[in-house]
Structure 1
Amino acid sequence: MRRIPSTPRPGWKPLVESQGLLYATWEEDDGTEVPYWHEEAYYELTLDEVDRLEDVTEELHAMSVAAARHVIRHGDLTAFGLPEEARDYLRVTLDEEHPSIYGRFDLAWGGDGREAKLLEYNADTPTALIEASLVQWYWLRDRFPERDQWNSLHERLVRAWGRIRPYLRSETMHFAHVEGTEDEEEWLTTAYLRDTATEAGLTTIGLEVAEIGWDAERLRFVDLDERGIDTMFMLYPWEDMLAEPFGKHLVGHPRSCLFVEPAWKAILSNKALLAVLWELYPDHPNLLPAYLDSPRDMRSYVAKPLHGREGDAIRIVTPAGEHVQPAEAYGDEGWCYQEYVPLPDFDGNKPVLGTWVVDGKSAGLGIRESSGPVTDTYARFLPHVIDGPAPDTDTRLAWLDED
């Protein structure tokens, strides 16, 4: 694995925006525009490295699903910051195999001969999808048409919707996101996933989470037109939903609506999963020691809030001192203490590998890097290439067409 300097394409910003990445830059307090999509460099991996990462990703996914079964049947949900009364609902969604579409592992690995280490599993509301699936693919076609990329995300998403289609409760599926502007990541991620479902033949309806209602007589969720919602994708954290009045309806009526992603993935997206995995698979080469009660005897560790996102409130403790990320909204729900492993360092650039899972299978790679020890909201996304034949022509930009 290498980081290689590169010259950005002329007019790269409007180009990637036309491909759906409307958050390609962000502004500092002084108004300076900083690229989030960063093509001044790219990463190169070998086929052997990609094969190894594919195997690791699928093994970690299988282990994580087994860990979720263990927690839901025998574990303490309050240790995950989840309400105990939600256990039966989580069990229903897991035992009845409510469909799951996608997730993203974050791995520390630099291709240096060491084993990749699991940092977390973004299994409930993962973003950075458009840049991983579409934008870096078209960068590859422009810059290196003779090269390949670990990226079958779009095709696998369409195929996954098609596979689960017979198991959905109707041919119409609602796609909900948190209220926001149309250039925000959550809205765009939901819109992209909705379009892959439409491509698979589903009829889709978009709405905001705040527009979802509950019909007390029919005991079901409804949209603004009072249509019953049978199946819904919702980009909203399950740990928040289960703590709100909205979620109470699901606990009381667990089969009122089929959700994608299902509620049992609240276990996988929780940092407490790291401690359960270490308990079930001690000394596994792709895991780091992790505990919920304290750091125990670890001299270097990371304290992670159980529901934290984007590096919020993370504290790194080493014999040399501490690094503390600003705390915005997390920490009261509890902490996981994981052994600290420094991220790979490529001349001051520290990447995290986001390896994607679609329908239970590894599907691609997105790389974010930072200048500091924590991958946070200021991280940048870099494309990658691998050795291999030129990719076939596809139609990934079809999702941008308006009806």
Structure 2
Amino acid sequence: MCLAAAAHIVERDRFADLGITDPRLASLVAESWRRRAELPSLYGRFDLRYDGTGPAKMLEYNADTPTSLVEAASPQWFWMEERFPGADQWNSLHERLVEAWKRQAALLPPGPVHFVHSESDELGEDLMTVAYLRETAEQAGLDTEALSVERIGFDKLSGRFVDERLRFIRSCFKLYPWEWLTTDRFGPYVLDTLDNGGGTGTTCWIEPAWKMLLSNKALLTILWELYPGHPNLLAAHLDGPRELAANGGYVAKPLLGREGAGVTLHEAGAPPAVRDEACCYQELAPLPDFDGNRVVLGAWVVEDEAAGLGIRESAGPVTDEYARFLPHVIL
């Protein structure tokens, strides 16, 4: 359904709903979508609300820079083997990531794959996630290099991005959102050199630009338009809370945000409030509470298939960067 929504955005030119108002950027994202079979794309994470009694509800989908991958992959598997030998776990993440790199190696330009994160990551989560994904690529036989995004250079003579040793960056896995990549100081160079398949451009970014269609909260409203009343979706609007203010309450989410930043909850009956910034107004579905722990399920996708489960719990109603990871078993 998310892929159908992405196709709808491109076909109906709904980029403005996502806050993509630069015609050139919109054109490049559309081209990336149309050429997606030629571009490497690795993974994503659905965040789901589920209490064991009814259908799971999709809270959002992070298809560009999802984290909590490290904990969901090998560590919780090793925990299970030590604590619950003979049990099972919904978890094939590591094997699927390695196989995905092997299958997609032919789509990568010659040379090492650079793995980059931002030095502004104070918790170290981005660094660990990138280091882990780099390990899966190396296990798949790829040549890799580590680099921070702040240390990427641009050689104006050749018109190419370079690393600290002045080698061309032909392919780059980034844990750095596309909305930052295209709007920071080097944003114009990113657009000028974007390898979108078809032999154009000089730098292939992973995840590809079309993932901007899926990691934007406006996706939730497009889904509700296309599949109104679907049991796995929550009602969502862009222009305000509408009926949600009176019927159960709503959550206001910035279109672009990570780790719960800027999310506000509004109970039923509270005066409807339309935020100044562009937001998605989604039906309120409080996370299930287990002894004061509010739980959200992270359902991982590698390439086109479900690949594992990572559970996070928090004391507050919004899952943020300080949420605890909870390993699981199937007995």
Q: Same fold, TM exceeding 0.5?
A: yes
Task: Work out which of the residue numbers 129, 143, 150 in structure 2 matches 1:210.
Answer: 150
The yes-or-no answer on 1:342 pairing with 2:281 is no
CA contact (8 A) 2:217 2:280 kept: yes
Match for 2:41: what amino acid?
Answer: S
Deviation at 1:274, TM superposition (A): 0.4
Deviation at 1:174, TM superposition (A): 0.8
Using the TM superposition, name which of 170-179 and 370-379 deviates more: 370-379
Deviation at 1:345, TM superposition (A): 2.1
Where 2:290 maps in the other structure, the secondary structure is coil
The yes-or-no answer on 1:70 pairing with 2:8 is yes
Distance between the aligned counterparts of 1:157 and 1:64, measured in 2?
21
Deviation at 1:319, TM superposition (A): 2.5
Deviation at 1:183, TM superposition (A): 6.7
Distance between the aligned counterparts of 1:233 and 1:93, measured in 2?
16
Where 2:208 maps in the other structure, the secondary structure is coil
Distance between the aligned counterparts of 2:128 and 2:320, measured in 1?
20
Match for 1:157: what amino acid?
Answer: L
Q: How does 1:1-400 map to 2 (within 5 A)?
A: 63-84=1-22, 85-97=24-36, 98-112=39-53, 114-179=54-119, 184-254=124-194, 255-298=201-244, 299=246, 300-319=249-268, 333-387=277-331
CA pair 320-312 structure 1, distance change in 2 beyond 3 A:
same
Using the TM superposition, name which of 244-253 and 192-201 deviates more: 244-253
Where 1:175 maps in the other structure, the secondary structure is strand
Distance between the aligned counterparts of 1:377 and 1:158, measured in 2?
27
CA contact (8 A) 1:176 1:233 kept: yes
Match for 2:52: what amino acid?
Answer: G
Consecutive unaligned residues of structure 2, counting only runs of 5 or more, are 195-200
Match for 1:310: what amino acid?
Answer: E
CA contact (8 A) 1:116 1:286 kept: yes
CA contact (8 A) 2:250 2:268 kept: no
The Cα offsets for residues 21-43 of structure 1, whole Å up to 9 and x where unpaired, read as xxxxxxxxxxxxxxxxxxxxxxx
Distance between the aligned counterparts of 2:11 and 2:151, measured in 1?
34
Deviation at 1:348, TM superposition (A): 2.5
CA pair 244-192 structure 1, distance change in 2 beyond 3 A:
same
Distance between the aligned counterparts of 2:12 and 2:160, measured in 1?
30
The residue aligned with 1:51 is none
Where 2:243 maps in the other structure, the secondary structure is coil
Match for 1:92: what amino acid?
Answer: E
Deviation at 1:253, TM superposition (A): 3.4
Deviation at 1:72, TM superposition (A): 2.7
RMSD between aligned alpha carbons?
1.9
Distance between the aligned counterparts of 1:232 and 1:317, measured in 2?
40
The Cα offsets for residues 122-155 of structure 1, whole Å up to 9 and x where unpaired, read as 1111110111002111110110011000010000
Provide the identity percentage.
Answer: 52
Deviation at 1:312, TM superposition (A): 1.5
Distance between the aligned counterparts of 2:257 and 2:329, measured in 1?
31
Match for 2:258: what amino acid?
Answer: R
The residue aligned with 1:390 is none
The Cα offsets for residues 225-274 of structure 1, whole Å up to 9 and x where unpaired, read as 11111111011011111222322223233322111101111121111110
CA contact (8 A) 2:63 2:214 kept: yes
Distance between the aligned counterparts of 1:244 and 1:81, measured in 2?
16
Distance between the aligned counterparts of 2:8 and 2:153, measured in 1?
33
TM-score, normalised via structure 2 length: 0.91
Distance between the aligned counterparts of 1:89 and 1:221, measured in 2?
18
Consecutive unaligned residues of structure 1, counting only runs of 5 or more, are 1-62, 325-330, 388-403
